[in-house]
Amino acid sequence: MCKLRKIILVALLMFITLQFHSTTVSADSENMNFSISVTPPANQFKKDVTYFDMMVKPSEKQKLEVNVSNTGKTEKKIRVTPTNAITNANGLVDYSKQKKDYKYDESLKIQFTSLVSNPQSITVKPGKTETLIFDFEAPAESFDGIILGGFVADLDDEGKTEKKEENISFVNKFQLVKAVVLRSSEKEVEPVLKINDVKPALVTYRTAVVANLQNTTPILLGKVNVDAQITKKGSTDVLKSEKRDNVEFAPNSNFNFPIMWDNTPLEAGKYTLKMTVTANKKDFKFEEDFTISKEDSYNINNKAVDLKEEPKDNTLWYVLSGAFVLIILILVFVIVREKTKKKKKKKSSSSKKSSSKKKSGSKKKKK
């Protein structure tokens, strides 16, 4: 009985210890209980979609209705923010809010956020839906292709302090988005892709070379295939390669396509990138020379994680080692042979002396 009590006590202490030393980070499901929808306007171009797809006329003004619903059990303050579509680092179209100093692509002449009113917040009771009205004015002139943006909904947590426990902070930001497509004609636009630059970089703290791919046209591209190969300049031997399917491009946007270096150091030198990008059944072929400087190589390799040395060609070392061993063996052979010769000479000379002594001794006896 006493033994059983000890076991129960130990188990209880272990349970309490685990409770005090473990940190559980989990998403608050209540903060995810809201939704967003839009009311299609009279100039909705595609009738079967759940986002704004509008055929607009120059300088035309209208109201855009965005509906937010609280499906949770507590009152929520929901914020809706107009945004511009970009291509993110993963090669996907992204409607999320960008930092104030974010630099949009230089070919993007008209941003959706410049055509619509500012972000709005509204308090919504449980089980209720509220409508936010945004003022919109179309560009002063007609345009080819599309302008792509969105309305992003999230909880307005302004004024709330971030909770920190044991030096661990967790920001739970659940966002929902409804796209906005603007067009002023049905004219088809052919895609134009280009490479801006190729350079060494750290991608998630791992060595890589990135090629900045740019969609200079106002069209949305999906299911883009990219095939990239890197060689030493003047060589045909492929050092590194990267293939990716289903890449996306927002209109007038760019992103850095990474060719990962397999956690090996970036060596200074001159290289060549060959890349084929297939979009809308059209192949774009690029060939770009680039240089990795000693400074870039040193700085990037020093900051990289999980870096491993590339296997080196030890042929010369093996040849030199073999030659050294062979020379040693020859020297040993020569030394041993010389010693053997000397021993034989000594034996022969000593045997001659002993035989001459025997002869002289026998002569004396005869006398």
Question: How long is the chain?
Answer: 367
Reply yes or no on whether the pLDDT at 286 is more than 80: yes
Distance CA 62, CA 50 (A): 19
**Pairing of the two strands 129-137 and 253-260:** unpaired
Tell which residue, 85, 89, 110, 111, has the closest CA to residue 98: 85
Overall number of domains in the chain: 2
Reply yes or no on whether the pLDDT at 161 is more than 70: no
Give percent of the chain above pLDDT 70.
79
Reply yes or no on whether the pLDDT at 310 is more than 80: no
Distance CA 255, CA 237 (A): 27
Answer yes or no: are the C-beta atoms of 103 and 22 closer than 8 Å: no
- 259 in the same domain as 136: no
User: Which of 5-14, 73-82, 103-112 is the least confident region?
Assistant: 5-14
Computed over every residue of the chain, the mean pLDDT equals: 85
Reply yes or no on whether the pLDDT at 229 is more than 80: yes
Reply yes or no on whether the pLDDT at 119 is more than 70: yes
- Tell me: the pLDDT tens digits for 230-282? 999 999 999 999 999 999 999 999 999 999 999 999 999 999 999 999 999 99
Structural domain contains residue 20: no
- 262 in the same domain as 139: no
Structural domain contains residue 45: yes
Structural domain contains residue 188: no
User: Which of 47-56, 229-238, 321-330 is the least confident region?
Assistant: 321-330
Res. 22 pLDDT band, cuts 50 70 90:
very low
Instruction: State the burial class of residue 175 (Cβ atoms within 10 Å of its Cβ: 0-12, 13-18, 19+).
Output: middle
Structural domain contains residue 357: no
- 208 in the same domain as 70: no
Containing domain of residue 245, as a range? 193-303
pLDDT of residue 12: 37
pLDDT of residue 109: 96
Mean pLDDT of 320-324: 79
- 205 in the same domain as 134: no
- 147 in the same domain as 65: yes
Residue identified by tokens 């059990």 is 73
Res. 31 pLDDT band, cuts 50 70 90:
confident
Res. 365 pLDDT band, cuts 50 70 90:
low
Distance CA 339, CA 333 (A): 10
- 136 in the same domain as 200: no
Q: Which of 255, 282, 303 is the last residue of a domain?
A: 303
Predicted TM-score of the model (pTM): 0.75
Answer yes or no: are the C-beta atoms of 124 and 72 closer than 8 Å: no
- 47 in the same domain as 134: yes
pLDDT of residue 151: 98
Q: What is the CATH number of the domain that holds 229?
A: 2.60.40.10
pLDDT of residue 271: 98
Distance CA 221, CA 145 (A): 12
- 96 in the same domain as 210: no
Q: Which two tokens stand for residue 212?
A: 């900045």
- 267 in the same domain as 145: no
User: Which of 38-47, 114-123, 156-165, 172-181 is the least confident region?
Assistant: 156-165
User: Which of 102-106, 164-168, 202-206, 269-273 is the least confident region?
Assistant: 164-168
pLDDT of residue 347: 65
| Phi (first) and psi of residue 327, to 5 degrees | -60, -45
Residue identified by tokens 């031997």 is 237
Res. 153 pLDDT band, cuts 50 70 90:
very high
Q: Which of 285, 303, 321 is the last residue of a domain?
A: 303
Structural domain contains residue 220: yes
Q: Which of 244, 275, 303 is the last residue of a domain?
A: 303
Q: What is the CATH number of the domain that holds 109?
A: 2.60.40.2550
pLDDT of residue 3: 47
